[in-house]
Structure formats: C-alpha cells, structure tokens
Amino acid sequence: MNRIASARAILAANDRGGYTVPTDRLYPFQWNWDSAFVAMGWATFDAARAWREIERLLEGQWEDGLVPQIVFHAPSDDYFPGPEVWGVEHTPPTSGIPQPPVLATAVRFVLERQGPAGIKRARATYPKLVRNHLWWERARDPERSGLVATLHPWETGMDNSPAWDAALDRVPTETTTEIRRRDIGHVDAAFRPRGIEYQRFIHLVDLFRETGWNARRMLEISPFKIADVGTNAILLRAERDLLALAEQFGDGGECAAIAERIARKETVLAGLWDEALGHYLSRDLIGGHLIPIRTSAGFLPIFAGLHGRAPALAGRLEGWRDRGIALVPSTDPDAPSFEPQRYWRGPVWAVVNWMIARGLQEAGEGAVARSVAADTRRLIGDAGFSEYFNPLDRAGIGGEAFSWTAAIDLLLGEGEGR
C-alpha cells in the first residue's frame, strides 16, 4: 500500500460515523482542532466526508458560540476526564473549554478545494463560525484588547509546554475529582505530561465546573491566564479566512466587524515579539510579562500573516536543521526545559509544521518552508503516522495510526505523484 492509500486508510479506520477520533483508545472522542485538520485531509479525496467532519464537530457548539475542545458523541472508558467530570449540560456532552480555533481556516480550505459544489454547506456553516469568533471576543477578550486569554493549558493544544510552567505553579494541586489517568495505560508515561501537571489540570476543571462554566466568572477567577501566542496567531489566521467567507455569505456589517478585529489583532500580536530572544512569545496576563520560553508556537505569527520577522525565524530553523535537529521541535532544543520525547516539551508535531511551512511559503521563505515540509514527510515516512516525533533520533512516539498526522501527510504529499 502506498503512502496516500495508507494515510486514507488511517482516516477510514478512525472514522466513528461522520467524525474521526485522533487514534483508537488513547483519544476515543472528537477533538476540536484535530477535526479541523482532519477535515482538510478528508477534503483531498472526499469533500462530502470533510463537510460531515465539520458538521459533527459543530453539533457540540454551545448556545453562546463556544466550540468545545471535546465532543463526547459516544461513551468510552478509555479516556479521562470524561463527560461526568466536566458536568456540562449539552447534547451531545462536551468539555467546557475551547481549543485553538482552526475551524474557519478548515472551512475555507474545504470550500476552495470543492468549488461551487460546496457552497450550500459552507453557507450553512458560516453563521456558526461567526458566533464562535464572537465568543472568543466576548468570553476571552471582553475589553477588546486584541489578545484573547486562555485559561487552561489544554485550551492551547500544547498542554505541558514549558512556557506554562511558571503560570501553572500558581494552580493548586488539590482536586475534588479523583484522577484516574487512562493515557499512561496506552502510552509510555515518559511520553506524557507528569502527574503533578495533571493534578493542576484537573484542579482548573474542578474550579470552572463550580462556576457552572460561566465565561465571565472563569475569566475573573482563573489562576492560569495566558495570552498564548499560538492560539492568538491561529485566531488571527482564522479571522482572515472568516472574512473571505463573509465576503461570500455575510453582509457589510459582518465584514466590517471582522476587518476591525483583524486590524486590532495584527497590532497586538506584533507586540509579542521579543527582540532579545528573537522570537514571538506568550504573555502572562496575571504577571503582565512576556514568558521567556521559545516554542514552536512562536513561529505561528507568520502563519497569521505577520511576515516582517519571517527572515529571522527562518534563520533559526536553518540553524537547527544544519545541526541535524528535525524540524520543528516544540521547544527550543537549547533550552534547559527541552525534553525530546515528552509531549509538547520538545517533540515535533506534524500539524504545527504544516502551519509553519504554509506561513513561511506565504512570507517568501520558500526554501525553509520546503525544508520544514520535507522534514515532516521524512519523519512520517521513516517512523510512521505517529502522534509526534523525537527531533533528535527521529523516532515516532505517542499514539500510533494518528489521524491528524495522516491528514497532514495527505496535504503535504499532494502533487508528488506518490
């Protein structure tokens, strides 16, 4: 079986009836940003199935516009915390927090891939995207600063990034929920977040559940409050894609509101650049300072359309590549906190690489964009469709037969005649 057939087979094997689980057992539900990337992968060969992925995810959208991190379409004992821990009153059950908002980007991609045949489904989806983007402003940036807050490391998608270490230290380790981790029953604990991090993760879930998932109260009381550079960059890119959709399906007022948000976000996202470290950084919204940890998220403002710093960031990637480091490690390999096989503390993730490569290409850094794409393809070709990869020995680690890795391989491999 060639690679394109293998990648398609993984998506088919992880299909649970219109939605795709990230991988069997380890992640048995529908995850928000996973499904956005997976929809783009489906779109390379089955546009109708791509739309169904998006529609099933939006079954979990709340009345206030939130698209939650997880939609629990069917029961499973293979994952903690399940719907009984979240205590959200919604059908189908969901978690109570977001993930990076890739969805508008995915919808635009699927529509452009399919052409006029996709207009009806895109038109039906568009108002839900508008509601979701308004949720981000109202719930996480009520003062309209241009930067949205994330209140839980899981919201960033980069759960145990060393960029969160200091802020997480403010979060107590006591929980009212009994912690029954399932992940380390499926994957080596050395690849996963540590136990003390999980205690803090669940403390935050307990805290937010006690508010009844009230967005205003959550923002007021969270001891973890970060302007994550990755989430904000992805949201700015999504706003640009939403504006393109609004020009087809919206009205003048919606277009103007989205354009206003884009202008505001461009200015404040540019302010996350740190000259001393030569990188875009996240901001601790409680301490008020930039967090001096370079991560792969700091390359994503290029994906968001901020191209002025692209040469400097491309130069760093070239330096790592010339040292034999597989691109792009999730944490600076020279940082004391770098761990090459522990989840978001060092490993390479194909989805982040796809965003970085696309941003570099659009910024005119085609050679480095091709290097990132080629490294991603090489890692997958040598180590399989793993959840993530060790940037030093290039081993595949984490979950296997991973949906979004397969989807990215389909996207990167187009036009290669494989």
**Cα 49 from Cα 369, distance rounded (Å):** 29
Q: Two tokens at 149? A: 């807050």
Q: Which of 241, 387, 400, 409 is catalytic?
A: 387
Q: Which of 137, 141, 159, 197 is catalytic?
A: 159
Q: Two tokens at 371? A: 């290097």
To the nearest 10°, the Cα dihedral for 384, 390, 393, 398?
Answer: -50
Amino acid at 400: E
159 is catalytic: yes
400 is catalytic: no
User: Comparing C-alpha atoms, which of 10, 116, 100 is closest to residue 410?
Assistant: 10
Q: What angle do helix axes 32-43 and 403-413 make, rounded to 10 degrees?
A: 40
Query: Given the structure tokens 């009345």, which residue do they identify?
Result: 63
| Terminal C-alpha separation, the chain | 11
- Residues marked active site are found at 159, 387
